[in-house]
Amino acid sequence: MFARFAEGRRPVKIEAVQATNTATVLDHEQLRDITLDDPDLMREILAALIDDTGRQIELLGGAIEDRDSQRCIRLAHYSKGACANVGAVSSATLLKDIEREAAHDQFEACSSALASLVTELGRLREEAGALAGAGSGY
């Protein structure tokens, strides 16, 4: 369960859903393509993506709490593109789900997808850690 607390707001409880999506956490080939197979650049880009997506998760949580479909769509779309470009396939898929559900004011579904996104971001961190542990031999 993921709870979000913001100043002046009540906590939002977001129930995690069991992931049935078998999408790849990280498409290593896509990452190599966009970084020209540079291991240092791969690590740098993944770190930036993880940091930015973490910030976007907080903003998305606020937009869902406020039931602001347009803000949800905009934030999810932005993050979806960043994740897809780098090869964070499962995160991009969940963000696409949030974007689609927000367009239909399905905020409970958005909350579930957001909770799954938190899990996927953790998995992406693990992948990035494995990449860092691989050194320059990636």
Does 61 map to a domain? yes
**CATH number of domain containing 29:** 1.20.120.160
Answer yes or no: is 69 within a domain: yes
Which stretches does DSSP call E strand in the chain?
2-4, 12-14
- Please indicate, yes or no, if residue 19 is contained in any of the structural domains: no
Q: Residue 5 domain-assigned?
A: no
- Domain-located, residue 3: no
Number of structural domains (the chain) is 1
Q: What's the whole-model pTM score?
A: 0.81
Query: Which runs of E-coded beta strand occur in 7-123?
Result: 12-14
* pLDDT tens-place values along the chain, 138 residues long: 333 433 343 343 333 333 434 579 999 999 999 999 999 999 999 999 999 999 999 999 999 999 999 999 999 999 999 999 999 999 999 999 999 999 999 999 999 999 999 999 999 999 999 988 876 454
By residue range, what is the domain housing residue 112? 24-132
Q: Distance (Å, rounded) from C-alpha 138 to C-alpha 125?
A: 16
Residue 86: predicted pLDDT = 97
Alpha carbon distance 43, 132 (integer Å): 7
Q: How many CA atoms lie within 13 A of 71 on its CB side?
A: 14
For residue 16, being part of any structural domain is answered with no
Burial label, 68 (beta-carbon count in 10 A; 0-12, 13-18, 19+): middle
